Structure 1
Amino acid sequence: MARINEIVKYKKKRETTEIILTYMADRTAIDTIKGYFYQFDYAIVKVLELSQDTDAIIVEGIEDVDLNTVTEETAIQCKYYAKTEYNHSVIAKPIKLMLNHYKEVTNGTKKRINYKLYGYFQSGQTKLALPISSTFLKDHFLTYTENKIKRYHHLELNLTDVELDDFISLLEIDISALEYQSQLSKISTLLMNHFGCKAFEAEHFFYNNALKVIKDIAVESNIAKRKISKSEFLKRINFKRVLFNEWFILYKGEAKLFAELRTQYFTDLNISPFERFFIIEVPTINYVRAELKDLIFTVSRKWSKLSAREPHPFCPYIYLHNILPQELLDLKKELFSEGFIFIDGFDFDGSEFNPKSISKSANNSNCIKLKILNKLEHIDLTVKEINKTKEIYQFYNSNPFFDIPYPSVKQTHIQFSLLTDIKKII
């Protein structure tokens, strides 16, 4: 993960994704990014497999992933070479770096630890016979030519064969690591077993959250902040809301992610006559009224049934979070002037909000296409007034803003970057 800061130094969600996708235009870069994901995923596997809640990993410590348990400390170098045949030279550099650390151990300046090289290769694994001897270590990993000069890394470190044997006793080499998709499947199984969830939740909630946690700590400059225990990790990923996480989008693909969310939450050939609340955070930057109007029309069109033949007609509720009062008023005037019929729970000028008024049934006669809630507190009042089945879909830009729990109400939280993203989901 040495170049991870080059990829994630820009924090804004959509901008980060675009930078990464641009970087991925080159085929070599695609393989590099996949290597980062493989390392992220390996870190997730290792923290989930820790036996004790107090055991921990360090991301980007001595190596890509360091394990800290009561009984051992292991520094793990993780490599993914999907298109590369194994040759000794490919893993020589990380082994030399591990030996550098071991030298400091012999000098008394570093703590004695275990070392592991974990790598996936397309082929060639039979070239390495394990366990290795100190002679094999010297000949194939520590001896090399640089600028036409033969160099001996062990001699430069002034290490004896006895010390090299000791280093080998601490070193584990595994070049038959799990393939990329197999490792992802392992993560899914671990998450489903731990949280007792289905595959969709394991991937879109917990894996999505896990990627963000690992990415966030990987770029911390303070090594203490790159350490996370199993209990803390599970606590930080244990929430069921869809994050607009640039790394998860990069892994999944934006179009595929939106399609899967649409299938999971918003695809129903026979839409039930439920009372649906769409509560949407209006971005304060780059706000365009036309985009919001288009979204409003989409919500109304897709989630209303007002036909005279419909036995239980209905239309959705919408609340626009953070919209300025004057902008909301101007928006309503524009909708009204265009013949778009809505109600907002105010029966006359100067009246207080009336949840009974806004919850009255929409039908073919009154042609109410939408119910607009002006204030956040109006949601709770209206939900409590309605005796029918209710669903709440919250689309937030940064953090969820409506957090009242209702035992009998389905609530879905989805993070988004642009208003136009919501149209692609619902």
Structure 2
Amino acid sequence: MSEGLSAARQRDLLIATTASAVITDATLLPFFPKLFATAFGVEDPRHVGLYLAATCLTVMLALPVWARLERRWSTLQLLVVGQLGAGGLAIASHLTTELWSFWACTLTMIVFKASYLLVYPYVMRLVPKASHAGVIGLLTVIVHLGGILGATLGGWVLEHHDPRAAYLVMAAGDFLQMGVSVYLLRRGARAPSPEPAHEGVPEVVEASADDPAPALPPIPQRLSPLVRLGLLMAVVYFSAFITRPFFVEYWGTRSSLDGELVSGWVFAIPALASLVALGVQHMGWSRPGSLYKWLALIALGVAIQATPLPAAIVVGRFIYGWAAFRGLVDLDLALFEISPPERYAEDYSHMNLCQQGGVLIAFWIAGLAVNAGGLVQPLWIALGGFVVGAGVFAAYGSRFVAAAPSEGKAPEEVAPC
């Protein structure tokens, strides 16, 4: 790393580019049903669900390839390639008028955008483990704040332009991020190599055969901590994302305030709640809670959103967003506690398979559920998923997400979920 570019400077610039990516990529997130109906005359909710599931599958297949390429080329070199390709294909997606070519352009664009996920483990290598919780919280808030701004920007675009114009916004964001990556490369930026373990680092103590075993239900002992965490993440992400594709349409059936801009704001309420939660946490007004308590509170927020009262939906989304922020930060923190720094990118790609697998199934099921049971059906399915997740974690506790291995300890070989 050049002397003029510190790890803190790299971190700040990469976090800024992450914010840009989140904002521009979130412009269409609440509005895909309207995009297909307006631009291509497709109103079947199953088609929307299938398309969103295909985007998740694309990320699942592409990210491990980018993670393997990182063994040969630097993260920043791969980011430049990914950002250039994504920007060009975003412009092509704007210009396309045929449904098949729209699918081809946008899914290929997603292949390149999958490289952006390499930023997360890269940034985590730039900071000490003691700072991981703060960085994860900051990145989570950036994602949520970007969701607010992106939904607002997307609502404005759809009210004044063809929905495909949002892809020009995405292209502008891609090229801006590429400029930052090129700047970092020219300054010789790179992530520091993992430090060797120091003497005095506590060893993980194995339980003695004479120690009394806790009275808990049996759990498959051959599953590694990373796989257990991945299974839990798959359930949580499935439950969180199944409500997203058709929420704007659901809000339109419950409220007369159903314009694109207002609908985008209501969609983004969980993001606003996460900002409030972060502020309260920094002021020391909140107490840490077990993950199963946050999952139970998320379930409560989902249940409230299923009521027909618009005011109750707003309140439910705020509760949901508050609890989801706390719960998802804890899940991400568990990953970087389990994984050693030299495995961050590879283990994160495996964990992303689990997350995206949950999201893929959620988007596919969402279209089928709406077609079969109406716009409220995804909320009831999400409620069941969060209740199951809370119950499993309440039963197994720390045995489900094991404590981190000590630094320097050889990591387990973990197969993708």
TM-score by length of 1: 0.23
TM-score by length of 2: 0.23
Query: More relative contact order in 1 or in 2 (CA 8 Å, sep 6+)?
Result: 2
| Bigger Rg over Cα | 1
